[in-house]
Amino acid sequence: MELVHYIRVVRRRWLIVLVAVLSCAGVAYLLSSLRTPVYRAETRLVVSAPAGGGANDELSNRTLAISRATAYASYAPTTPAVDAALEGAGYPTGGSRPQVTATADGSTPFLLISVQDSDPQRAAKVANAYVQRLLGVVARLDGTRDVSSQRLAVIDPAGVPSRPDSPRPVRDAGIGLVLGLILGLGAAFVRESLDRTYVDPDVLETTTNLPVLGVVPQALEKVDLPSISQPSSGRAEAYRTVRTNLSFAGGPDTTRRLVVTSATPGEGKTSVSANVAVALASAGHSVVLVDADLRRPRVASVFGLQDEGPGLVGLLTGDLDVQAAIRTVDEAGLAVIPAGGTLANPSEMLGSERMQAVLEELEQQYETVLIDTPPVLPVTDALVLSAGASGVVVVVRLGETSRERLDRALSSLRKLDVPVLGLVANGAVASGDAAYGYGSKYGYEKRVASPR
C-alpha cells in the first residue's frame, strides 16, 4: 500500500482516530488530576576517604570513597535509614514514610538522595537529614562501632519543591494523546481491513477491472437535480464528467440505449440517470429518459412531474402511444417518460415485445434512450432490459455497496453478454430513503396498482 492510500484511510476514518486521541488524552488527564500530588526533594552528598585510613595515595582514597558511595546508596532506602532521617527531621516514624531512592554512578564519590512525599517541606527536611543520620545507620547495620573515619558532606542541599513531581496532568495528557493516536490509527486500519464496502474509487476500478466513469461528491443538501439548479457545483460537474466518459467508453452506438442500474437499492441510480440525461441534453444531444422502475418509480418526482398520468405503464398496456406518454422538461431540454404507475408483473411486461417495440421507436426519434431500472440483485427487471441495451452503467455508493453484492450484480450482467460500460462512484446522495426498496422487506408487493 502506497503512502497516498494510508493518507486516504486516515481521512476516511478520521473520526475513529479523533475519538481515540481525545478519549485517551482526557482519561489520562482526569486520572492524573485525581491523584494525590507527590513532591520530590533531592540532596547531593559526597563521600570522603579518611586521611589515615590505610590509603597511601590519592588514587586509593578516591577508589575507597567511590566504593563507599555505592554501598551507602544501598543503605539509604532501607526502613532503618528512612526512620532515622525522619527522626533527624523532627517527624514521627509511626506513620507513613516517604519514598526514598539513592543513586551512585560507581565512577564518582557522589551520592544522590531523592525523597518523594505528599508534604513538600517534609520531603526537603528528610533529604537534608541524611547527611547526619546515614553513617550511624550504616555503622549499626554493619556492626561497625567507629564511624569517625567515614565522612559525608553536602554539596547541594535539598530545597522545598514548589510544584509536584507527580502527577503532571498536562504531561500525562500528552502521553495519552500519543497513545491515543497510535491506538486510533491501529483501529482505523483494522476497521478499513474489515470493511467490505467500496470506499475508494481507485480500489473500485482496480478490483472490478471496469472504468470509473465519474465520482459524484456527497451532497451537502437535498438537491436532486444539481445539473439544473446548481450547474456550477461539483456534483453537476461530476455528472458532466460521466457524460464525457460515456462517449469514449465504447463504439459510436454506445449511448444509443443506455441502462442505468445498481446492485442494491438506495445507491442513487435515479439521481445519476436524471442528471446524466440533463448533462447529455445540455450538450446538444436529443435524449429521452425512461423510468422503467415500475416498483418504486422516482423519475417523475425528481423532475417535479405528476406520476399519476401518462407514462410507461400506459404504453405497455396499449392505452397510449409513444407521443402521448412523453413529457417535456423545458428547463432541461429533455424528454421524459415517467413510470405512470406500477404493475403487478413488471418483469414480464418489461421483457415483452411491446416494450421492445417502444424502445425501438424511441431510438428512431432520439439519439440516446436512457433507461432507469430497478437494482439487479432484488429483481430481474434490470437484466431483462439490459439484454437489448447498447451498454449498462452501474451506480455504486461509496461506503455502502459491498464487494460481494457488486460482484454478484456484475456477474449476472456479464452472463447476458451485456457490455458494462463502467461504474459511477456515487457519494452525492445522503443515506438512501428507507421507504425506497425492493422485495418483501420494503413491501413493494403491497403497492401494486392496476394497469393503466
Q: Looking at residue 17, what is its pLDDT?
A: 93
The average pLDDT across 30-43 equals 92
Last residue of one domain, picked from the residues 156, 185, 219: 156
The average confidence (pLDDT) of the chain is: 85
Rounded Cα distance between 155 and 64, Å, is: 19
Mean pLDDT is lowest, of 210-219, 263-272, 307-316, for 307-316
Q: Is residue 161 part of a domain?
A: no
State the pLDDT confidence band at 52, using cuts at 50, 70 and 90: low
Question: What CATH code is carried by the domain that includes residue 72?
Answer: 3.30.70.1130
Same domain, 313 and 428: yes
State the pLDDT confidence band at 82, using cuts at 50, 70 and 90: very high
Q: What is the pLDDT of residues 398-410, one digit of tens each?
A: 888 889 999 999 9
Sheet with 39-48, strands from edge to edge, namely 99-103, 110-117, 39-48, 151-156
Q: Looking at residue 446, what is its pLDDT?
A: 33
Q: What is the pLDDT of residues 157-209, one digit of tens each?
A: 999 999 998 888 999 999 999 999 999 999 988 887 777 788 888 888 989 99
Q: Is residue 413 part of a domain?
A: yes
Same domain, 122 and 246: no
Residue 103, pLDDT > 90, answer yes
State the pLDDT confidence band at 329, using cuts at 50, 70 and 90: confident
| SS (HEC) of 312-368 | HHHHHCCCCCHHHHCEEECCCCEEEECCCCCCCCHHHHHCCHHHHHHHHHHHHHCCE
At 139, which helix (H) or strand (E)?
helix 120-142
Same domain, 137 and 214: no
Paired residues of 216 in beta bridges: 426
Rounded Cα distance between 149 and 206, Å, is: 84
Same domain, 77 and 180: no
Q: Is residue 452 part of a domain?
A: no
- Structural domain including 428 reads 198-447
State the pLDDT confidence band at 450, using cuts at 50, 70 and 90: very low
The average pLDDT across 323-338 equals 89
Rounded Cα distance between 69 and 112, Å, is: 9
Residue 19, pLDDT > 60, answer yes
Residue 419: left (phi > 0), alpha (psi -120 to 50), or beta? beta
Same domain, 140 and 243: no
Residue 89, pLDDT > 50, answer yes
Q: Is residue 132 part of a domain?
A: yes
- The count of structural domains within the chain is 3
> What's the grid cell of residue 207?
478490483
State the pLDDT confidence band at 149, using cuts at 50, 70 and 90: low
Same domain, 203 and 177: no
Q: Looking at residue 145, what is its pLDDT?
A: 55
Q: Looking at residue 371, what is its pLDDT?
A: 96
**What's the pTM?**
0.62
Same domain, 175 and 217: no
Last residue of one domain, picked from the residues 156, 185, 210: 156
Q: Looking at residue 418, what is its pLDDT?
A: 83
Rounded Cα distance between 270 and 302, Å, is: 8
Q: Looking at residue 148, what is its pLDDT?
A: 63
Q: Looking at residue 252, what is its pLDDT?
A: 63
Q: Is residue 110 part of a domain?
A: yes
Residue 287, pLDDT > 90, answer yes
Residue 441, pLDDT > 60, answer no
The average pLDDT across 113-123 equals 94
Same domain, 315 and 259: yes
Q: Looking at residue 25, what is its pLDDT?
A: 94
Q: Looking at residue 320, what is its pLDDT?
A: 81
The average pLDDT across 299-311 equals 83
Q: Looking at residue 392, what is its pLDDT?
A: 94
The average pLDDT across 339-361 equals 89
Residue 50, pLDDT > 90, answer no
Same domain, 212 and 307: yes
Q: Looking at residue 445, what is its pLDDT?
A: 34
Q: Looking at residue 438, what is its pLDDT?
A: 38
Residue 67, pLDDT > 80, answer yes
